[in-house]
A and B are shown apart, each in its own frame.
Chain A
Amino acid sequence: RKEVEQDPGPFNVPEGATVAFNCTYSNSASQSFFWYRQDCRKEPKLLMSVYSSGNEDGRFTAQLNRASQYISLLIRDSKLSDSATYLCVVNGRDDKIIFGKGTRLHILP
């Protein structure tokens, strides 16, 4: 099993809709979880950290489920500018930061 797994998508979602995607991780000892966003031909940028109690930043909500070893990202009222690849990031074995392969999201006008 890969250390961090994501559905590659693409998710094609109409503007204004709500979309959610998950990321599973294999290392039960992982302590740090993040969502990064990467636009085409650009570098990854931190979108938000994921806290045990779940956290919200505007239209974005991140949640952690330790029992099932997954994190989720929910985007409400999606905008065209949300189109990007969303990378799940987890600290793996030996505290190494592991990136998922990313989930591609296309917001349709």
Chain B
Amino acid sequence: GAGVSQSPRYKVAKRGQDVALRCDPISGHVSLFWYQQALGQGPEFLTYFQNEAQLDKSGLPSDRFFAERPEGSVSTLKIQRTQQEDSAVYLCASSLALGDQPQHFGDGTRLSIL
């Protein structure tokens, strides 16, 4: 497809389980961003990549969160030992280059931790 694709759309997990969220950016987009959006809040920056390099991970809330983009295209956000406060929509966005707008967003993965 032409847009940013995220999977799964919905994920329900029990507290303590590990989850992996996938983002397939627009082909050729160098920059890839992950955001966390809680209900009623704006997207909160988690991390971003330029190609395969993770240039900023200052927004990751704890060391349970890990992101990678090994070949500079598809990215995976992994959350280990999930907690209830991890429940949110996880948005992925890509752009041609850092600072470019618009950032094209995927539909997001809605994560619910029981």
Interface residues of A (CB under 8 A from B): 6, 8, 32, 34, 42-46, 49, 87, 91, 94-102
Contact residue among A43, A49, A91, A94 (Cβ-Cβ distance under 8 Å from B91) = A43
A45 touches B56 (CB 8 A): no
19 residue pairs from A and B, CB less than 8 Å apart: A34-B101, A34-B102, A42-B107, A43-B91, A43-B105, A43-B108, A44-B91, A45-B105, A46-B101, A46-B103, A49-B101, A87-B42, A91-B99, A94-B56, A96-B58, A97-B103, A99-B35, A100-B42, A102-B42
Provide the residues of chain B in CB contact with A96, threshold 8 Å.
45, 48, 56, 58-59
A-facing residues in B96-112 (Cβ within 8 Å): 98-99, 101-103, 105-108
B62 an interface residue at 8 Å Cβ cutoff?
no
Interface residues of B (CB under 8 A from A): 33, 35, 40-45, 48, 56, 58-59, 91, 98-99, 101-103, 105-108
B42 touches A99 (CB 8 A): yes
B101 touches A98 (CB 8 A): no
Mostly, the B contact residues are: loop
For the complex, give the distance between the alpha carbons of A34 and B95 in Å.
15
With contacts A32-B99, A91-B99 taken as known, whether A97 is within 8 angstroms of B105 at the C-beta atoms is no
Nearest CB on B from A24, distance (A): 14
Provide the residues of chain B in CB contact with A34, threshold 8 Å.
101-102
Provide the residues of chain A in CB contact with B58, threshold 8 Å.
96
Provide the residues of chain B in CB contact with A32, threshold 8 Å.
99, 101
For the complex, give the distance between the alpha carbons of A44 and B35 in Å.
11
Provide the residues of chain A in CB contact with B103, threshold 8 Å.
46, 97
B33 touches A97 (CB 8 A): yes
